Homo-oligomer: A and B are copies of this chain.
Amino acid sequence: VIAEKKMMPFLCRHVRGFCATITAVRESDEQKGTHGMTTARMIPDEEATGLVREVYDDIKATKGIDFVPNIWRALAVNPEHLSATWFKLKQTMAAGALDPLTKELIAIAVSATNGCRYCINSHTGAAVKLGMDTRMFSELLAVVDVFNGTNRLADAYQVEPDAYPEVPPPK
């Protein structure tokens, strides 16, 4: 994809008919729901009915976007799983005792710790929309760096906890 992104402008300029063909095939891909190389066919927006339709519409309305991101189109192969996952995520990410940006920062921390490429890009994009700049991003990643390191030190030195705190209820 990286190669594609960088080569496209050159190829379009230098290979006759290249871009027209690419565009045509992409639209065709979109119609068939086959986009990229997922392990299961992604359900395109046009084919969505019933529970999938309801979730797709709610995703677009909630996020204020006019397309359904790839991850949800992949999950749509199992409408019940799609629905339970989307509505739990939506409820989890809504403003509460923590604000939405803080929640996106936590989502990036988890995704970075797991090395999930799709998720890192997706949540970095979402956090930018909510106001994250490079200073905040780099401070977040510095924390991710430090504790991925020291977590393994605590395990390797087999250090017992100094205390067992119990988190207090809200005042």
Contacts and interface: CB of A to CB of B under 8 A. Distances in A.
A160 B96 contact: no
Contacts of A170: 133-136
Interface of A: 1-7, 10-11, 13-18, 21-22, 25, 34-42, 67, 69-71, 74-75, 77-78, 80-81, 84-85, 87-89, 91-93, 96-98, 102-103, 105-125, 127-128, 132-171
B40 A167 contact: yes
Q: Which among A67, A107, A125, A164 has the greatest number of chain B C-beta atoms within 10 A?
A: A164
A115 B156 CA distance: 7
A147 B121 contact: no
Contact of A96 (B89, B114, B139, B164): B139
Contacts of A5: 37, 164
Given A85-B150, A115-B115, A39 B158 contact: yes
Contacts of A154: 71, 116-119, 122
